[in-house]
Chains A and B, each alone.
Chain A
Amino acid sequence: MAKTIIDELIEAGEYVLPGTTACPGCGSTLALRYVLKALGKDTILVIPACCASVYQAIYPKSAINVIIYNVAFASAAAVASGIRQALDFRGYEDVNVVVWGGDGGIVDIGFATVSGAAERNENIFVICYDNEAYMNTGIQRSGSTPPGARTTTTPLGKIVGFKKPMPFLMLLHGIPYVATGNVAYPLDLYEKVKRAKDIKGFKYIHIFSPCPPGWRYDDSKTVEVGKLAVETGYWILWEGRNVNGRIDIKLSPPSRPYLDPAKRKPIEEFLKYQGRFRGFTEESVKRLREWIDFQWNLLKSFLGTK
C-alpha cells in the first residue's frame, strides 16, 4: 500500500513531548508539533520572549526535543542570523535555524530585526504563531490584535487600528518564501514547512494560533475557532514565492472556496464563539469586514498579476 501523508506524519516522530507547561487547548504547541515534524531533528529553535519561552518547560527540563536557544524579545531574527553564519562557516549548512515567536516578538518589537534579516535574505525561517495579543504577559493588545477585540489594554474592545498585514509586508521584502498557516489545517501547514525547508534563503510563515484563555472560548474548541477563521474569510491560507523578480502567489486549498464572498460564513459566526468579542458592535463588525476585504483585495491584486 502506498504511503499516505498520515504514515509520514507518524514516522516523523514527536518533538513536542508530553510535559509542556502550555495552557489546555494551546494553538501554538499544536502548530509547533507539525512544524517540527516537517523540519526534523537537525533544527535549532531560536525563541524570543513569548508563550513558547514558558511552555517549553522549566529548567532543567525541556519538553521540546530539539535544541532551543532562548533570546531577548526583539533579538531573535538577528541571533538566528548569527547562528546561521557561524554554522555555515563551520560547514553545517543543512541545519535548520528557526525563529519561533509570537506576534509581539515578530510583528511589533522584533519587526525591525525580522525585516533586516529578510532584507539580507538570511537562510533562516521566521515563524510567527499569531495569537493576536501579548498572551504570555496577560493578554495585552498587540499590532496583530483585530479591531474590536477585548484585551487587558483594550478592556472595552476599543477599535485602535487594523491588524498589521504582516505576511503581506514580508512578501514585499521579495524573500523566496512566505506562507500563512492555521492550526486547524495541520496538513496544509506541514506541507508548507516541508516545501520551505528545501528553499535557500529567508522563509516566513505566519500561523493563525487560537488561544483559549486569551480569546475566551472553551479550550476544546481551538480547531473549530481556527476553521471558522478560514470559513468566514477572516484568515486566508496562501503561499507566495519570489521567482525571478515575479511574485507567484497561490491560494491554498482550504481557502480557495472563499475567494467568492458569497461562500464565506458571516463574520459574526467567528465572533460569537469568543469572549474577547463579547458585546461586539456594528462598528467593530464593519471594521472587521473591511479588514477581510482589505486582505482579499490585496491577495487578488497579486493573483491578478500573473
Chain B
Amino acid sequence: MPDITKTPDATKTDVLIVGAGPVGLFAVFELGLLDLKCHLVDILDRPGGQCAELYPEKPIYDIPGWPLITAQGLVDRLMEQTAPFKPQFTFNRMIAALEKRGDGSFRVTTDDGEVFEAKAVVIAAGGGSFQPKRPPIPGIEAYEGKSVFYSVRRMEDFRGEDLLIVGGGDSALDWTLNLQPVARSVALVHRRAEFRAAPDSVNKMFALHEEEKLRFQIGQVTALSGEGGVLRSATVKGPHGEVDIPCTRLLPFFGLTMKLGPIAEWGLNLHENLIPVDTEKFQTSEPGIFAIGDINTYPGKLKLILSGFHEAALMAQAAKHYISPAERIVFQYTTSSTSLQKKLGVA
C-alpha cells in the first residue's frame, strides 16, 4: 500500500528546531559539530526570539566571557557562530502539528501547511510563540476572525470597510496610512497624542486627519456592539467622556505576548505549560523529541541563556545517538580537533 503520509514536496532535514532564539541557534552549532543539519522555524520574522523582539538594546551581564553584551549583539554573534553549518530558517510560521512515523522520524507541519521531515525534533520555544495581545474588551472573542483582526494578510479584505485601528506604534500607524485609501473610512484610536511610531508616519496621519480623510481619537476602546460577530460600533473612553465610533472592522495593535500554543497538543507530558525533560538527554516524554531552554523544566532548572547553551550541548549528543544509534560519538574539542575545525571552516 502506498504511504499516504509521504508528501513529495516535504522539506527534509536532520533536525527540526522549533524556535530561533539564542538557545535554538546554539543548538545548530552543537548539532552541526556532530554533522547534523538543522532547519529552524520561528513565528517572528527574524532570528533571536525574546532577545530580538523584547529587549534588543538591553545589556546582558551573565553570558560567560562577555562582561556585557546587548541581547541583539548576542543574537548577531550566534548567527555568525552557526553560519558554517548553514542552518535553514522559516520565519513567520509556527509548527501546528507534529507526528511520529513508524521509523522514528517526524513529520512536522507549519500553520500554513508546509511540511518538514526530520529525524529528530528540538523544541527551543522559550516562553512559547509570540502572538498578538488581545485587548480586554468584553466579548471581543466573538468578533475575532469575522470583524476583529490582529494582522493584515490581504489589504483587499478591508476594501470598503469602516476601520477602527487601535494603537500608537508602527504597526498601527503603517496600517492606518496603507489602508486609508482602500477603506471606506478609517478611525485611529490611541490613548495619548504622542506616538512611538516613526515621526514621518505620525505627521502623515495628522495631515490626513486635518484633511478629514481619517479620524484620530484619543482614548481607549472599552466596549463593542454588534451581533453574530458582525461589528457595528465601538465605544471609546476618552479624556472628555465616551464616544461611539461606527466601524465594521477592528484592528488592535497592542504588541505581542507569549503563548504555549499548539505545543500543548503534541501529546507530550506538560507541567504548568513547561515540558519536563531528563538532565542527561533533555528528552521529552517522546523519544526523539528534545526540549531545551526556557520551555523545559527539571529539578533545579534556571531560566538562563547559559543553562540553555549547556542543555543544547548535551541534547546534541543524545539526538545524534537517537538518529544514528550504531555510530560511536568521539568526544572532541574545537580547540584541537582538525575534524571539528574543518566543519567550522577554519582548518
Answer whether A and B are interacting partners: no
